[in-house]
Amino acid sequence: MKPPSTFFASFGYAARGIWHSLRHQRNLRIHVSLALPTAALAWLMGLTRLDWIVVIVAMALVLSLELINTGVESVVDLASPAFHPLAGAAKDAAAGAVLIGAAASAVLGVLVYMPYVRHFGRHFMVRWQESPTLVIAWGIGMAVSYALLWILVPCRKQSEGGPNQTGGTP
């Protein structure tokens, strides 16, 4: 692949990589599926600016790690089509990074949302009274997003990860 001819072309390559990963990586779709209601709840509960920052950074961390994991798996499968223990270790390490990021994000989520949970009904009613149309639009947007994410976007994986997976037979 040749380097981007312009600064703005690199954004197109990045978008293409995200799109490809969404289409071929179930785990990325799962993480996006969890990020959508997380953002909706943040809005419904009226999180503070600092809480929003924590939530956004946590979501970005997990999604970024999942994209890096996808890249590592693709390069390992390309470089080592036959089983090799080091190739499997590289893929496992990348998956471990995603697991650590997701666990940390879950802990952050509990810490951020816990003070708001007791008053969820009140927060929801405040949003509803401010703009019921916007609350309904959020719900419809979530439904459409899930339909796109799980029905229209996915295609069959080109490979099931190759032979370099832990527990696989050489």
By the 8 A CB rule, do 155 and 74 touch? Answer: no
In a domain, 8, yes or no: no
66, 73, 130, 160: the catalytic one is: 66
In a domain, 52, yes or no: yes
Structure token pair of residue 60: 């970005």
By the 8 A CB rule, do 70 and 26 touch? Answer: no
The pLDDT of residue 169 is 42
In a domain, 14, yes or no: no
pTM above 0.85, yes or no: no
Q: What values do phi and psi take at 125, rounded to 5?
A: -65, -35
Of all residues in the chain, what percent are helix, strand and coil, respectively (each to 5)?
A: 80, 0, 20
In a domain, 165, yes or no: no
In a domain, 12, yes or no: no
Please confirm, yes or no, whether 73 is among the known catalytic residues: no
Residue 90 has pLDDT above 90, yes or no: yes
Give residue 170's pLDDT band: very low, low, confident or very high (50, 70, 90).
very low
DSSP-derived 3-state class of residue 131: coil
By the 8 A CB rule, do 15 and 90 touch? Answer: no
pLDDT tens per residue across span 122-139 = 888 888 888 888 888 888
Residue 157 has pLDDT above 60, yes or no: no
Residue 119 has pLDDT above 70, yes or no: yes
What CATH number should be reported for the domain holding residue 91?
Answer: 1.10.287.3610
By the 8 A CB rule, do 138 and 40 touch? Answer: yes
Q: How many domains does the chain fold into?
A: 1
Give the residue with greater pLDDT, 117 vs 160: 117
d(CA 70, CA 83): 18
